Amino acid sequence: MEGIVYLYVFVLAAFTGYEVISRVPVILHTPLMSGSNFIHGVVLIGAMVVMGHADPDSPLQLTLGFFAVLLGAANAAGGYVVTERMLAMFKAGKKKGAE
């Protein structure tokens, strides 16, 4: 894709991120930070592509790729579990949440 198109994507994504968060109650700050932490765990798919195109005869590339995938998978899995556990507690709060 052209660089300028990516610039549009950057700018629009930045506005989206700002807009999505702008009206969030304080009680959700920590879960939301955790949730966005999970979402950048999508770095995993980038790590997979890089690992998949690493030279199989290069231990350096394989090692770095291995760590990229391992860390990315940990970010995604850990981020999900932690966020889900925090938000599971909001079930009890349906009363106020439904207002």
Q: Give phi and psi for 51, each to the nearest 5.
A: -60, -40
Please count the helices (runs of H) and the strands (runs of E) in the chain.
5, 0
Interaction between residue 18 and other proteins (CB under 8 A): yes
How far CA 5 is from CA of 10, 49, 82, in Å, comes to 9, 22, 35
DSSP class of residue 58? -
Residues in region 49-78 near other proteins by CB under 8 A: 49-56, 58, 60-62, 64-78
- CB of residue 83 to other proteins, shortest distance in Å: 5
Residues in region 22-51 near other proteins by CB under 8 A: 22-51
CA distance 65 to 41: 16
Interaction between residue 85 and other proteins (CB under 8 A): yes
- CB of residue 12 to other proteins, shortest distance in Å: 9
Interaction between residue 94 and other proteins (CB under 8 A): yes
- CB of residue 4 to other proteins, shortest distance in Å: 11
Which element (helix H / strand E) includes 61?
A: helix 59-88
- CB of residue 8 to other proteins, shortest distance in Å: 11
